[in-house]
Amino acid sequence: MSGSENATARGTSPTPGQSAEAALRPGLRLFAVSFTALFLELMLIRWAPSVVRLVAYYANLLLLSSFLGLGLGAMSSRRQGNLLRWFPLLLTLNVGGLLLCRHVVLPGGGGEMKFFAAESRVVNYLVLIGIFASNALLFVPLGEQIGVLFGQLPTLRAYSWDLLGSLCGTIAFGMFSFFYFSPAVGLAGVALIILGLSSRRQRLWGLPVLSLGVAALWWASPPGAIWSPYYYITFGTVEGGTGVPAPTPPRNLRAMQDPPVYTVSVNQDFYQMHGTIDLGRYSPGNPRGALVRLLRDQYLLPYALAPGRRRALVLGSGGGMDVEAALLSGVAHVDAVDIDPRLIALSRRINASGCYDDPRVTVHVNDARAFLENAAPGYDAVIFGFLDSQALFTSMSNLRLDGFTYTVESIRTAHQLLNDDGLLALSFAAGQDWLARKLIRMVADATGTSPLVYVQGAQIIICAPRGKTAVPPPSSFGRFRQARYDLNAQPPQAVATDDWPFLYLRERTIPRDYLVVIAVIVALSLATILRGRRGAWGANALHFFFLGAGFLLLETKSISDCTLYFGTTWMVTMIVVAGVLAMVLAANLLATRVRPSLLWYVPLFAALVLLHSVPHSWVLSQTFAQRLLWAVLVVPLPIFFAGIIFSTTFRGATEAGVLFGANLVGAMIGGFCEYLGMVTGNAALMLLVMAAYAASAACQIAVAATKRGQS
């Protein structure tokens, strides 16, 4: 190692004789590696659910396993093993392993509703754990490179390059997802960057190996598949199924007699049907007409209870059948709300009713809860369609995409939008009795009424009029029969609220499938850390560990809060994540001009207490502009002060790569702690954040005491 390299390894500035180009090269390389790590982890999180069924329910665990790999790699960087040369093989094996498991259905927890989940068996758990272990192993070479490059630059300059690369990777993936997402194209882009970072000798074998991985991924993508911001979508005709590429819709689809009905799947499982429910479009005896006759009952039932409606709101309009039912019932204007623009576009293409292009319909691509918070009253009917999501709303949280839609507060807001004689109807494929009872209790608590309940098989329709119904409710409607539930006959259900938005959990608990995976990953990570460090974690390493734990838990909670205020759309999540990285980057730049001090913990804890004390209901009661100011100016404050603490203490680090690795491993543990919200609720997580930062402060005091003792 040259003299200038020795200087940079110690975190000092390059020697005067070192060229500007030589000083810039490690920074650009660190930018490229951090960019690749962030882009790749987001791409794998998006692609994996399209291959292995139900991985979408574990997207946050995939993210945390990425942190584990990066952290372990950074902590091993002193060994200088050049693990990057193995990255092409690891990436191709990871892709191949996921493709081999594409027909495996992951297990479900006994206390949680997962659509189409398999029974809990050893093989299911082994596949689940194997996916996360393989994902963690993939990121170890990238983490090692980050640790090595941290040792070749002044620490804060290295951290700035790392943050800038992560920020650009986040933005690039957001644009890639929005304009054109293709896993093969994304993997090819990652391969090009890795080859550019490799030596000429490594490229000779890395190029064919990476090409094999890209080719396998390209071959595995079926024609006609659609990538929405939330789902991997496939569709086909009812007769052919989604596994067979659907024929091009007829040109006269909206006018033809006996039009086709399409079935749409997301992440390989059935989601909804697209087609008309107008029986006049089908000839007598046509088998499609018989199917439509079965479907139309669930969509027309609310209007049989409340005839003569003029203005309706449909939440989760999806395939359009709810919207067409309103039009067939004589509704003069329909507001159709759906979070997924690709499903709306697909319905415009394959739905024979053409309801989304009807002048009586206004389409809103938005989160249902966000629309409710900003909607004006005056609806005659508010319809909760089949919003039942089959994915998490972000890889940063364990909350489902429809988490804040199915809460008592959300249903109450919807009921308050009704006219005096309006009707709220909630349709759901409950499947289990406890979930049906939970939904009924939530509607009763939100509306103050004793709702009307109609059931048919697993389907349940819960209706809550705001006033007295104009006609006596029928005891049956088509296949649906009125049912009576005595909610007092069993112990009260743990209803979903804005603080505990877990409709699909039977009770306040962490399901066993999550516990098994978390326990195994934590055990493996601790064993690896202890073997690599041989138990020599001092107070300084623990300080960065607790900073990482507090930071990720705080970031996750900030994302959850902001999506409650503005909706669980992918754009909100990307903006919040990019804003957090930008805030940390700003704190890092400021840290070059201030001294490390325990006094920085004072504004940090003051901001945490402020966020913990102000209830969500108060923020939601403000105007959109006021909520935006709160999200921009107040929510990021603790992240800013925590960033200053990190950067000022990181500035003088002698083992930057090791300490940065400890910070990433701490972030993984903080992410696991977020699952405690399934028991405590989200508000209580702020107490864990405070505890993590208090532990960080205690470690800093211990470090200062040690330095005084040595002087």
pLDDT tens digit string along 610-631? 999 999 889 988 888 888 888 8
Contact 466, 419 (CB under 8 A): yes
What CATH number should be reported for the domain holding residue 432?
Answer: 3.40.50.150
**Range 644-647 contact pairs with CB under 8 angstroms and sequence separation of 24 or more:** 644/587, 644/590, 644/591, 644/594, 644/600, 645/547, 645/596, 645/600, 645/601, 645/604, 645/696, 646/544, 646/547, 646/551, 646/584, 646/587, 646/588, 647/156, 647/159, 647/587, 647/588, 647/590, 647/591, 647/592
d(CA 95, CA 528): 24
Contact 585, 645 (CB under 8 A): no
d(CA 344, CA 364): 10
Residue 531: pLDDT above 80?
no
**pTM for this structure?**
0.88
Residue 4: pLDDT above 80?
no
Q: Which residues contact 118 (CB under 8 A, 6 or more apart)?
A: 105, 106, 107, 108, 124
Q: Tally the domains of the chain.
A: 2
Residue 534: pLDDT above 90?
no
Q: Buried (b) or exposed (e) across 506-531, using 16+ Cβ within 10 A?
A: beebbbbbbebbbeebeebbeebbee
Contact 109, 511 (CB under 8 A): yes
Q: Which residues contact 155 (CB under 8 A, 6 or more apart)?
A: 11, 650, 651, 652, 653, 656
Residue 708: pLDDT above 70?
yes
Domain boundary among 455, 489, 523: 489
CA distances for 54 relative to 67, 661, 702, angstroms: 21, 30, 45
pLDDT tens digit string along 547-570? 999 999 998 898 888 888 888 777
Q: Is the residue at 21 inside a domain? A: yes
The type of residue at 531 is R
What CATH number should be reported for the domain holding residue 690?
Answer: 1.20.1250
Residue 129: pLDDT above 70?
yes
- My answer on whether 113 and 43 are in the same domain is yes
At 490, list the tokens: 């069993």
- My answer on whether 546 and 673 are in the same domain is yes
Q: Cα torsion at 665, 667, 669, 674 (round to 10°)?
A: -170
d(CA 578, CA 513): 31
d(CA 345, CA 10): 56
Q: Is the residue at 646 inside a domain? A: yes
DSSP letter at 49 equals G
pLDDT (mean) for 67-77: 87
**pLDDT at residue 544, rounded to an integer:** 93
- My answer on whether 553 and 430 are in the same domain is no
- My answer on whether 444 and 515 are in the same domain is no
The three-class DSSP label of residue 56 is helix
At 662, list the tokens: 């400890």
Q: Helices 433-447 and 408-416 sit at what angle, rounded to 10 degrees?
A: 50
pLDDT (mean) for 327-340: 94
Measuring CA to CA, which residue among 437, 560, 549, 413 is closest to residue 491? 437
Q: Is the residue at 271 inside a domain? A: no
Domain boundary among 489, 523, 550: 489
Domain boundary among 489, 522, 544: 489
- My answer on whether 468 and 524 are in the same domain is no
- My answer on whether 108 and 149 are in the same domain is yes
Q: Is the residue at 482 inside a domain? A: yes
Start-to-end C-alpha separation, the chain:
31
Q: Is the residue at 317 inside a domain? A: yes
Measuring CA to CA, which residue among 115, 631, 190 is closest to residue 370? 631
**pLDDT at residue 1, rounded to an integer:** 33
- My answer on whether 197 and 102 are in the same domain is yes
Residue 436: pLDDT above 60?
yes
- My answer on whether 64 and 37 are in the same domain is yes
pLDDT (mean) for 88-94: 94
- My answer on whether 509 and 561 are in the same domain is yes
Domain limits at 345? 286-388+408-489
- My answer on whether 479 and 531 are in the same domain is no
Q: Is the residue at 219 inside a domain? A: yes
Report the range of poorest mean pLDDT among 77-81, 427-431, 510-514: 77-81
d(CA 328, CA 249): 23
- My answer on whether 566 and 509 are in the same domain is yes
Q: Is the residue at 250 inside a domain? A: no
Q: Is the residue at 499 inside a domain? A: no
- My answer on whether 481 and 547 are in the same domain is no
